[in-house]
Structure 1
Amino acid sequence: MEKKICELFAGVGGFRLGFDRLNSGWETVWFSQWEPGKKVQWAHDCYVSHFGECADLNGEFHTGEDISTVDKASIPDHTLLVGGFPCQDYSVAHTLKSSKGIEGKKGVLWWQIRDTLETKKAPFVLLENVDRLLKSPAKQRGRDFGMILACLRDLGYSAEWRVINAAEYGGAQRRRRTFIFAYRNDTNHAAINSQPPEEIITRTGLMAQAFPVESDVEVSSTDLPADLVEVSDTFSFPFKGAGFMTDGTIYTADVEEKTEMPVLLGQILEKCTDEDFYISVDDLKDWTYLKGSKKIPRTAANGHEYVFSEGPVGFPDSWDKPSRTMLTSESTKNRSTHVVADPGTGRLRILLPLEAERLQGFDDNWTDTGMPRRMRYFCMGNALVVPMITRMGKVLDQIIAKEK
């Protein structure tokens, strides 16, 4: 089986870089990256600067356009579809045209993944999302993830998932993300479906091989409704941090990670000579307030009075731990931005762009491709931890080797 990848919602190329580092023959044949509302597509341009463009089957270039406008049949054939997509509202309704048709909310990007799978029928799928995907929406917990699994079931796929904290597997950042690995039921790998669910979750599945866990788990299960609209309207289930789905039956369990030594924040820091990154004496009071604990009386729109409270954030961030999760707002004056004591001067400053890149496992100055400095942080806040992709890729190499 050829090793060809299609990368949707590609950002600055974290999935591609992760697979390229394997040096095992993976080729990305097409990608898509488009940021709504941006006059300049900085992430797309960064991706192209590293990897070049990809033509579709018509010899045309549409990688920097809204994926919803792309003819999925024009995407080159591929073995593996990958992508990091946002957690959105996955609810559906019957269409007016047909009681059997469904219609999802406009702009929800999951449907672009589904449409691509339906059209191109990739044997394997690897996706990334935030950890709260398993619990959303708050009023019908588990519905959104149930919708994704139901779509995969209807398209002839089985799937497994894990919530991974990158720092527990050698990463530099305590970043929790949900990874989903799906495979068509006519692949050789699908023979794994006959194994006990606890074996797949703890030992033989891709996730368990890439991210080892202890074997003692308690598995709970449920069946998905047959109809997507019923899933949307009524389904709710307490998904746990690991699991497996085949033929509409869901098995899930909490697992205990076999943790590895992380990269510590202090190990990725550089001496800084640029005053732009340092916190001024005048701003120190603002930063201290933002990072501190608070109890603030507030009144809701309905007149209800309550106290908003939040605990303190480490200030400055500790060198002897992996970093907190980096957000797209990194470098702006806000509670979540990392503030460190510079290893050269001891003065407080924000992270350098290359330090942000190191937290995600990218090469130094990966985003130094002409984009504004603020966008470099934004792109890293949107990115994934590259070494986690390489770990899963090593297992996928073994799986592919057993295919036709």
Structure 2
Amino acid sequence: MKNEIKVVELFAGVGGFRLGLEGWNGKSASSGYKKKMSSPFKIVWSNQWEPSTKTQHASLVYENRFGNKHHSNEDIAQVEVANIPDHDLLVGGFPCQDYSVATTLKNSKGLIGKKGVLWWSIHKILSEKETKPKYLFLENVDRLLISPSGQRGRDFAIILQSLNELGYIVEWRVVNAADYGMPQRRRRVFILAYLKGTEIYDNIKESNPIEWILEEGTFAEAFPVQTEYSLVPNEFELVGDIVSISENFNKKGSLGMFENSGIMIDGLVTTIKTKPYYDGNFTFLGDIIQNGEVTSEFYINNEDIDKWNYLKGAKKEMRKNAQGFEYHYSEGGMIFPDPLDKPSRTIITGEGGKSPSRFKHVIQTPKGFRRLSPVELERLNMFPDNHTQLEGVSDTKRAFFMGNALVVGVIERVGISLCSKIENGIIVQS
């Protein structure tokens, strides 16, 4: 193993970033935790806080798996930056919220957006740290690129300009895990940033932006893509500070300005639509199913099948709202039960519980129809079996964790590529 890469993990959940970067018990997620993984990544501090719950279940699961040393279970907005150790890489999956910027505070180093928006907690760390992290690796829902509806892409533009002002080059890629052989169709935007003075920063400055996006970049190595070279990339400059961008970015535009792949260098954005290129093996829902270990409470009673069929079926009917107003309601049907010969649909936070639902997964087995078990949901996100099992944590809560989690294999592949860019070793062996 080469030089250690010190990592701070924010919004840690139950540890998806950590599993992808460090592995579990020295094993690799992409191998089903069977092959050895030697990684330079080392989590030196982590934070998990859920403001809406009294009992911090996710943090308890995290501590149960990784220990409570250097782990913080307090509101990140209240954490003193001085208490966060210096680190090389900052990672986290921060929520997609309203990032609009309202004011400039006289006593702050920068511009502050709405209170409680977790992006500004990241911004605060980057602004106040005397030794800034060299790299950032962030995750969000892909609608970040087109939010809000009245100013398509404004929120992402604010983030890009924030990082530009702090001295970072930023690249991004929307990745659907199933496109690269993983067991779940989960589409997210991943963001990498490189601080001025790093070797990667210098290499990007010397590269052609399109070549970096398509062939040379960290994401291009981790997740190869193809594109129609006849397509002209969208190029534009981020104009003004983040307050100006908040007020004016794409104000009259009905379409988003950011494609699924792109890079921002010194405020100049280059973005192009790409398609995944993958010729490896695929993992399907049927490949991760438990055989014989699932208990009876996950099976659906015959008398409830009609309810499930109705909720998942196509509808075109009259409905009445709370005020008594009648309206036409329609929606398309969903495949029922879920096919075992394809990657699964995206896990949602409401996956748990016995009540019939349009969005919960249901499979057909020789014993009948049933919901997915917590272990199967963990496998769809490429977590170790029973990673979230802990006394006092219900199966419904475990399903909630997986609805909020990410696909660990995506993190692992980006970590391997990032290591190669900064000349560190990460080795997966049989």
TM-score over 0.5 for the alignment? yes
TM-score category of the 2 structures, normalised to the smaller one: over 0.9
2:112–2:120 CA contact under 8 A, matched in 1: no
Unaligned runs of 5+ in 1: 56-60
2:40–2:424 CA contact under 8 A, matched in 1: no
Distance 1:102 1:26 in 2: 32
Q: 1:305 to 1:96 in 2, by over 3 A?
A: farther
More off after superposition, 100-109 vs 182-191: 100-109
The residue type equivalent to 1:31 in the other structure is S
Aligned to 1:131: 142
1:16–1:28 CA contact under 8 A, matched in 2: yes
Distance 1:180 1:291 in 2: 34
Question: Do residues 199 (structure 1) and 211 (structure 2) align?
Answer: yes
Question: Partner of 1:355: helix, strand, or coil?
Answer: helix
Question: Do residues 183 (structure 1) and 194 (structure 2) align?
Answer: yes
Q: 2:100 aligns with which of 84, 91, 94?
A: 91
1:8-27 to structure 2, matched below 5 A, reads: 8-21=10-23, 22-27=37-42
1:327 Cα offset (Å)? 0.5
Distance 2:320 2:152 in 1: 27
Aligned to 1:383: 405
The residue type equivalent to 2:13 in the other structure is G
Q: 1:360 aligns with which of 381, 386, 401?
A: 381
Q: 1:245 aligns with which of 264, 284, 291?
A: 264
Distance 2:167 2:151 in 1: 26
The residue type equivalent to 1:224 in the other structure is L
1:33–1:43 CA contact under 8 A, matched in 2: yes
Q: 1:95 to 1:363 in 2, by over 3 A?
A: same
1:4–1:29 CA contact under 8 A, matched in 2: yes
1:231 Cα offset (Å)? 0.7
1:94–1:100 CA contact under 8 A, matched in 2: no
Aligned to 1:33: 48
TM-score under structure 1 length normalisation:
0.93
The residue type equivalent to 2:383 in the other structure is F
Distance 2:76 2:69 in 1: 14
Distance 1:41 1:181 in 2: 29
1:188–1:402 CA contact under 8 A, matched in 2: no
CA deviations over 1:99-158 (Å, ceiling 9, x no partner): 996331111100011111222310000000001111111111100111110111011001
Aligned to 2:244: 230
1:2-401 to structure 2, matched below 5 A, reads: 2-21=4-23, 22-55=37-70, 63-95=72-104, 97=106, 102-120=111-129, 121-191=132-202, 192-214=204-226, 216-217=228-229, 218=231, 219-236=233-250, 237-259=256-278, 260-272=280-292, 273-297=294-318, 306-332=327-353, 333-342=356-365, 345-370=366-391, 371-401=393-423
Aligned to 2:253: none
Aligned to 1:58: none
1:261 Cα offset (Å)? 3.2
1:93 Cα offset (Å)? 1.2
1:64 Cα offset (Å)? 0.6
2:105–2:112 CA contact under 8 A, matched in 1: no
Q: 1:301 to 1:137 in 2, by over 3 A?
A: farther
The residue type equivalent to 1:247 in the other structure is D
Q: Which has the higher contact order (CA 8 A, sep 6+)?
A: 2
Q: 1:359 to 1:296 in 2, by over 3 A?
A: same
1:222 Cα offset (Å)? 0.9
More off after superposition, 151-160 vs 324-333: 324-333
The residue type equivalent to 1:3 in the other structure is I
Distance 2:157 2:325 in 1: 34
Q: 1:102 to 1:26 in 2, by over 3 A?
A: closer
1:203–1:215 CA contact under 8 A, matched in 2: no
Unaligned runs of 5+ in 2: 24-36, 251-255, 426-430
Q: CA RMSD in A?
A: 2.2
More off after superposition, 256-265 vs 32-41: 256-265
